[in-house]
Chains A and B, each alone.
Chain A
């Protein structure tokens, strides 16, 4: 595709509900990343995928967060039993590879609001 796409663009949910956020990377990009941008903070790394495997899950804030990637393409970030502190913009990025010279291209983000 032309760029990284994410859906939904906005999600409002009630505390305790589960949410799923979707990311479609640029076609051919093998690496996919999830970041979170909270109010007043920079972007926080959550997890990355190389193909369908996730070698680094170190940024996931708790076991309520999980992510998967299928077919080396679309990825889903799932947050179970959402809490108000989960409210943030969730950004997805993709790159051709993971070596230092590979630029990460970002999607528009999903703004999650937990009431």
Chain B
């Protein structure tokens, strides 16, 4: 069965620090990859997604993620975080054949101190 691992459960950074959140998945076929974010008191929303093509994808609010197929990884990065990036971040993967459910990681809580 597919699984998604997010290595960091809690991350605390100061503003302007760089961010990298790890995500690894365990499926060898073609996959679609996603990062979702949940700001305090808000809905889960899509940050960015990878379906095919350029493995470096850019999302909203300056976030980007790189798909490294050989490492089964899809790490999320941001060069300089802001206080407003405080949120919970979820990596998710879906097989790219017909209907397949989204499989989520357990999430990473990011706290950015001003």
A68 to chain B, nearest CB (A): 19
Q: Do residues B43 and A45 form an inter-chain contact, with CB atoms below 8 A?
A: no
B99 and A42: CB pair below 8 A? no
Nearest chain A CB to B88's CB is how many angstroms away?
10
**Residues of A contacting B97 in the complex (Cβ-Cβ under 8 angstroms):** 100
Main secondary structure of the interface of A (DSSP, over half): loop
Which of chain B's residues has its CB closest to A91's CB?
B44
11 additional contacts (CB under 8 A) given A3-B43, A42-B4, A48-B101: A33-B101, A33-B102, A40-B106, A43-B44, A44-B104, A100-B95, A103-B46, A103-B49, A106-B44, A106-B45, A107-B43
Sample (12) of A-B pairs whose CB atoms are under 8 Å apart: A33-B101, A35-B104, A42-B4, A43-B44, A43-B92, A45-B102, A55-B99, A56-B101, A99-B99, A105-B46, A108-B43, A109-B43
